[in-house]
Amino acid sequence: MMKVDSKVVARLGGKDVLQFILDLEDGMMVKLLSYGAIVTHLTAPDRNGKSEDMVLGFDDPSRYWSEPYLSHMCYLGAIIGRNGNRIARGRFILNAKEYRLALNHGPDHIHGGIIGFDKVVWDSETIEYKDAIGVRFSYFSRDGEEGYPGNLRITVSFVLKKDHSLTIDYRGTIDQPCPVNLTHHGYWNLTGGVKRDILGHELEIYANRYTVTDAALIPTGEFRPLKGTPLDFNSPHVIGERIDRVPGGYDHNYVLSEGVTGLRKIARVTEPASGRVMEVLTTEPGVQFYTGNFLDGALTGKGGVSYSKHLGFCLETQHFPDSPNHPEFPDTVLQPGQTYRHTTVYRFRTVK
């Protein structure tokens, strides 16, 4: 059995905010909000069949649009757009014209700007298939929003399947050329209920290079090999094993499966105590691995847990940071007549 429930939890800007519950009724369940297209809860069984929540967030939906959360810029579980990650100095040149974006991270633009896709109420509809249930969110981003050109129509579908996978499928069209690079900013902790930090999780990321950044985490344009560095997770390593050798912690864009297109597995995370495993598949050329380095304990999340450093990790599938300013990076410019496409799958299982 599977079921989809929804209810109105607030009204913002003249629109109802809906909460959706996707329940496979076998221990796998996802809760989402139409505000920010946020995944607020995702439960899955451990090796003993006990289902627990594995994402950082809040039980009270209003916390997502209130202080102090907004000031902390954590983006817990939200869809990020039009462009995930950083754009240096909030500007880029396209077809000989300079565009200036909203600056919301010092001198730079990050995660779509002051009011990015994480802070708007999306239209929504439920979707049901023979072996899956889901929600399709849609948003119309007007020309000039946060400084971006073009009217962008975007849909993001979350589909929960009986095989315990959550597929996030992105589609978009536009009427002027514009860089488009969406991602999901989920913070994961497979212990369930955030029993411990994520430093004991075992990680694999299938990549050979990463994009080097400066002190402000802006790419320099250099690609550097991972082999022999504490960033190399081609073979399994515990996240905390070498993190002290990474200044500030992990917050790096990995260059995935170079020359390979289509949906493929790019990462695997195992939590030894619970036996939970998360596999990540994507069509994107990069993934940002982030270890919650800026969580400072000031936010209290579900269960009264103080969200401190390293309590969650992110694997944000994406094109590369600051791509509009790096012609050597895979192109992110969406042209009129084209369709923006991006699929990412988070698949869950257990090991003994």
pLDDT digits (tens, 9 = 90+) for 137-155: 999 999 999 999 999 999 9
- Annotated catalytic residues are 185, 316
The residue-averaged pLDDT of 128-132 equals 95
Please report the domains of the chain, with CATH numbers, ordered by start residue: 3-350 (2.70.98.10)
The residue-averaged pLDDT of 31-35 equals 98
Predicted pLDDT of residue 347: 98
Predicted pLDDT of residue 310: 98
For the chain, give the percent of residues with pLDDT over 70.
100
pLDDT at 181 over 90: yes
Residue 284: CB atoms within 10 A of its CB come to 22
Residue 32, phi then psi, degrees to nearest 5: -135, 155
The residue-averaged pLDDT of 100-104 equals 98
Whether 206 and 257 have beta carbons less than 8 Å apart is answered as: yes
For strand 152-161 and strand 132-141, is the pairing parallel, antiparallel, or unpaired? antiparallel
For the chain, give the percent of residues with pLDDT over 90.
98
Q: Which amino acid is located at 208 in the chain?
A: N
pLDDT at 258 over 90: no
Whether 318 and 214 have beta carbons less than 8 Å apart is answered as: no
pLDDT at 261 over 90: no
Predicted pLDDT of residue 234: 98
With b for 16 or more beta-carbon neighbours within 10 A and e for fewer, the 54-86 pattern comes to bbbbbeebebbbeeebeeeebbbbbbbbbbbbb
C-alpha closest to that of 262 among 279, 281, 280: 281
Residue 250, phi then psi, degrees to nearest 5: -75, 130
Predicted pLDDT of residue 149: 98
Predicted pLDDT of residue 205: 98
Rounded to the nearest integer, the mean pLDDT of the chain is 97
C-alpha closest to that of 51 among 179, 190, 182, 181: 190
For strand 183-185 and strand 340-350, is the pairing parallel, antiparallel, or unpaired? unpaired
What is the Cα–Cα distance from 133 to 156, expressed in whole angstroms? Answer: 14
pLDDT at 287 over 90: yes
pLDDT tens-digit readout, 217-236 = 999 999 999 999 999 999 99
The residue-averaged pLDDT of 45-53 equals 98
pLDDT at 43 over 90: yes
Task: Tell me if the pTM is above 0.75.
Answer: yes
Predicted pLDDT of residue 257: 81
pLDDT band at 87 (very low <50, low <70, confident <90, very high): very high
The residue-averaged pLDDT of 183-205 equals 98
pLDDT at 1 over 90: no
